[in-house]
Amino acid sequence: MKRTLIVGGGSGGTILANSLDRHEFEITMLSSSFGHLFQPALLYVAFSHARARFVRDERSLLARHVNLLHDEVTSINLKNKTVATKSGVLFPYDYLVVATGMHTDTSQIPGLSETNAEFGDYHSSLAKAERLSYHLDGFRGGTIAIGQSSPIIKCPPSPLEGVLLTDQLLRKRGLREISRLIYFTPYPRPYSAEPMNEVVEPLLEERGIEVMTFFDVERIDPANKTIFSIEGDKIEYDLPIIIPPFVGANITYEPSDAVDEDHFVIADKSTLRIKGAEDAFVVGDASNLPTSKAGVGAHLQAKVVAQLLSGHPATFDGRTSCPFDTGDGRGTFVIGSYDAPVIKARPTRIKHLMKTAFQRIYWISLRGTLNPVFDVYFKLTAPKKAAAASD
């Protein structure tokens, strides 16, 4: 039996654990959390009062033969092939898969911790998303400033989804005429990839949303309700919706150059092997791969690692397919891969329905039972075909 340690019980770790053959692998999962949050729901908790059951017990999502232990991993020694935890246990492994995701870090920007504690956000936790929803409920007109404070983001369309859903919410409540909506971004255009920007920019114009590009948040002055950028601009707000910077898990690696300065694990972009290690892999948001941080990527990467661990050839092609709710019951997908740049795909009602439907099948998808359906979807929407189909 191959002793396989999976660190992290989120999307990537769970799909991988459920994909490995129980006759071939002795699987132990170490996770610092008990509950698995369906993170895309944070958007709907914040902007449309969604209150379904978005957290499930991690144990309930795993095949029975997976040994789940709740403990925080503090260090990983890739040379000795051991993992140490906060409670003082040392785990040896034959194979290791890191799936520790990433989390927000408000301490990087002066003034952000206070601002975030007061107003919340829709990328950190359920409690923070509920806090933001509470402030949106209390908003009676004025300026809402919304955007990402650093380039690394979960699901690249999510900042724009936030601004478009805010616009929809204000219109519904009859507040749009007495409100300014300002979208700020560190990128030179509203959507960083040009083909998708051609879809997004007219949408923002049509809805009267102001855009500030090249806006890297430097600091926030909560007393004077102002956000300052490194480039020297400022935005005065009544309600700030600021997506904090993200960092990888606070784990010490040996050798230390297996992670970058923000604690993202450095890996081969095709084989997902951690730098300098033959038997250690990374999946999902925890890596520094040049692709979108999204559940879809975590899923595809988990499948690749499952194949490699079983001795079958497999490579990750950087494929992504991020659903993008553009408001008013329409949606689109951001589709691309390492070799195929993001395509231009217009919003439709069907694509919005697909996003909504996924929320219903997410928990089942973690079991791996829907893989054949996803395989067909990915084949049909492979970047070249999708470009032809959508334009």
Ligand X SMILES: Cc1cc2nc3c(=O)[nH]c(=O)nc-3n(C[C@H](O)[C@H](O)[C@H](O)COP(=O)(O)OP(=O)(O)OC[C@H]3O[C@@H](n4cnc5c(N)ncnc54)[C@H](O)[C@@H]3O)c2cc1C
> Which residues of the shown chain bind ligand X in the complex (CB under 6 A)?
7-13, 30-33, 39-40, 42-43, 72-73, 99-101, 122-123, 154-155, 158, 249, 251, 284-286, 293-296, 298, 322-323
The DSSP code for 49 is -
| Sheet of 234-236, strands arranged across | 217-221, 226-229, 234-236
* CA–CA separation, 310 and 4 (whole Å): 11
Residue 255 near residue 262, CB atoms below 8 Å: no
Among the listed residues 346, 281, 274, the one whose alpha carbon sits nearest the alpha carbon of residue 310: 281
Minimum CB separation of residue 332 from ligand X in Å reads 12
Of 159 and 186, nearer to ligand X (C-beta) is 159
Task: Please state the closest distance from residue 102 (CB atom) to ligand X, in A.
Answer: 7
Q: Please say which residue, 155 or 258, places its beta carbon nearer to ligand X.
A: 155
Closer to ligand X by Cβ: residue 167 or 285: 285
Measured from each CB, the residue nearest to ligand X is 10
Q: What is the C-alpha to C-alpha distance for residues 109 and 95, in angstroms, rounded to an integer?
A: 37
H/E segment holding residue 90: strand 90-92
Beta carbon of residue 295, minimum distance to ligand X (angstroms, whole number): 3
Picking from 136, 158, 156, 127, the residue whose alpha carbon sits closest to that of residue 54 is 127
Helix axes 158-172 and 194-206, enclosed angle (nearest 10): 10
Give me the least distance between CB of 342 and ligand X, in Å please. 15
- Between residues 214 and 377, which has the closer beta carbon with respect to ligand X? 377
Beta carbon of residue 59, minimum distance to ligand X (angstroms, whole number): 12
CB of residue 155 to ligand X, shortest distance in Å: 4
**Is the Cβ of residue 5 or residue 228 nearer to ligand X in the bound state?**
5
Q: State in angstroms the smallest separation of the CB of 71 from ligand X.
A: 7
Distance set, CA 43 to CA 67, 160, 196, 225 (Å): 32, 11, 20, 24
Closer of 214 and 378 to ligand X (Cβ): 378
Shortest gap between Cβ of 252 and ligand X (angstroms)? Answer: 10
56 or 171: CB nearest ligand X: 56
Cβ nearer to ligand X, comparing 7 with 306? 7
CB of 47 to ligand X, least distance (A): 10
Residue 15 and residue 297: Cα distance in Å, rounded? 11
Q: Starting at the edge strand that comes first in sequence, how are the strands of the sheet with 142-148 ordered?
A: 210-212, 179-184, 142-148, 239-243
Alpha helices by DSSP H, the chain = 11-19, 41-48, 112-119, 126-138, 158-172, 194-206, 295-309, 349-365, 371-380, 383-390
Nearest to 241, CA basis, from 128, 323, 153: 128
CB-wise, 40 or 120, nearer to ligand X? 40
CA distance 161 to 156: 9
Residues 6+ away with beta carbon under 8 Å from 199: 191, 332, 344, 345, 346, 347
Q: Kind of pairing, strands 179-184 and 210-212?
A: parallel
